[in-house]
């Protein structure tokens, strides 16, 4: 079984940050979003990936390469029409998919491996199976209408509105398990002037094809669309310890004062303090009288000058915090600041 990851879009809801880096490569607890997703699939027993790229696609390819560093296999397809929406990105992968059943998810998505395992185990074995969060009361995201069936999966009666009779509105999670027949309905949707993947799924339902749902409300998941989503996911990952190996990790409610052992290659002045949960890669520098954390992630080569205070923030791309500055609820990339709105 394969997983198709759609990582082609511009990520415009991330603001100006998306001009410099594709959204799937934004780090959460010092690990790119798409890497969290690949590792979740791997834990669920999926190790064969097709990644569809577009905007700044070379950066994604250079980061992930062929997947060997994660002990998985990655192949790439480029979407020429990614500006027109995810349906075109999925269509770009059609000829690359070799298995009848395959997962589909966006590259700006983080999910509990147990949710993937549950969908994989309980799907209807035909048609399309989607993940749904029945417990969520969020008004954001895609509404899916669901009907319990008494089986290990339920029936979907429509997206955005019921196509079939009945159904209660719930929140759709960005995880689908499809079979190859979905492409017939993608082409059919486009022929009818419909250019959203959910339009193709509604045609699928209208034609009597089964779309089933699995409730994953007991598992964590994040759609990372905005700066605020980056910070929310980063906070969760730091608390849970979802960090790369060989990072310096200060656990929740702990504090560390400088200096730090040389093996970590991190400069922390003896007058400065790190409050957990916080994670730092090697070659970070923290000057005198500074306070870092809680909920801070710093990738390699980032620098915090003297008398600075940093909380609930993500620093990467050789970010520099100047003397006496105070930042909270922000992403810092190079010399640019992207606050949460």
CATH superfamily, region 2-223? Spore Coat Polysaccharide Biosynthesis Protein SpsA; Chain A (3.90.550.10)
Residue recorded with tokens 């560093």: 69
Q: What is the mean pLDDT of the chain?
A: 94
Angle at 128 (CA atoms; ends 66, 154), nearest 5 degrees: 130
Q: Which residue has the higher pLDDT, 153 or 230?
A: 230
Distance, in Å, from the CA atom of 225 to the CA atom of 165, rounded to the nearest integer, reads 32
85-124 core/surface letters (b: 16 or more CB in 10 A; e: else): bbbbbbbbbeeebeeebbbbbbbbbbbbbebbbbbbebbb
126 has a pLDDT exceeding 90: no
243-258, pLDDT tens digit by residue? 999 999 999 999 999 9
Q: At what angle do helices 33-43 and 57-64 cross, to 10 degrees?
A: 50
Interval 8-39: pLDDT, tens: 999 999 999 999 999 999 999 999 999 999 99
| Low-confidence winner among 23-32, 132-141, 232-241, 328-337 (lowest mean pLDDT) | 132-141
Alpha carbon separation from 10 to 53, 81, 161 (Å, rounded):
10, 12, 28
**Average of per-residue pLDDT across 92-101:** 93
Query: Residue 180 CB: number of other CB atoms within 10 A?
Result: 13
**Across-strand partners of 4?**
50, 104
pLDDT confidence band for 165 (50 / 70 / 90): confident
Instruction: Report the percent of the chain where pLDDT is more than 90.
Output: 86
- pLDDT tens for 254-293 read 999 999 999 999 999 999 999 999 999 999 999 999 999 9
């Amino acid at each position: 079984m394969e997983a198709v990851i759609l990582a082609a879009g511009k990520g415009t809801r991330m603001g100006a940050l998306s001009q410099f880096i594709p959204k799937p490569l934004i780090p959460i607890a010092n690990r790119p979003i798409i890497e969290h997703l690949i590792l979740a699939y791997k834990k669920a027993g999926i190790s064969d990936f097709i990644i569809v790229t577009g905007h700044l696609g070379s950066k994604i390819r250079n980061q992930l390469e062929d997947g060997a560093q994660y002990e998985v296999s990655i192949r790439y397809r480029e979407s020429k029409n990614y500006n027109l929406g995810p349906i075109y990105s999925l269509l770009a992968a059609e000829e690359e998919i070799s298995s009848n059943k395959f997962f589909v998810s966006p590259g700006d998505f983080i999910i509990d491996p147990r949710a993937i395992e549950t969908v994989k185990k309980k799907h209807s074995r035909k048609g399309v199976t989607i993940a749904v969060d029945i417990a969520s009361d969020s008004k954001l995201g895609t509404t899916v209408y669901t009907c319990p069936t008494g089986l290990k999966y339920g029936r979907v009666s429509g997206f955005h509105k019921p196509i079939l009779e009945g159904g209660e509105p719930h929140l759709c999670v960005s995880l689908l398990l499809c079979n190859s027949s979905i492409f017939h309905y993608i082409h059919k949707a486009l022929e009818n002037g419909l250019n959203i993947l959910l339009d193709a799924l509604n045609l699928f339902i209208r034609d009597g094809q089964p779309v089933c749902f699995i409730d994953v409300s007991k598992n964590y998941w994040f759609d990372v669309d905005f700066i605020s989503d980056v910070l929310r996911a980063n906070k969760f990952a730091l608390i849970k310890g979802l960090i790369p190996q060989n990072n310096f990790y200060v656990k929740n409610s702990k504090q560390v004062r400088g200096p730090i052992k040389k093996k970590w290659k991190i400069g922390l002045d003896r007058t400065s303090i790190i409050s957990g949960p916080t994670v730092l890669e090697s070659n970070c520098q923290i000057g005198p009288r500074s306070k870092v954390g809680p909920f801070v992630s710093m990738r390699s080569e980032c620098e915090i000058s003297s008398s600075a205070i940093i909380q609930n923030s993500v620093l990467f791309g050789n970010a520099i915090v100047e003397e006496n500055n105070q930042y909270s609820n922000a992403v810092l990339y190079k010399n640019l600041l992207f606050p949460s709105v």
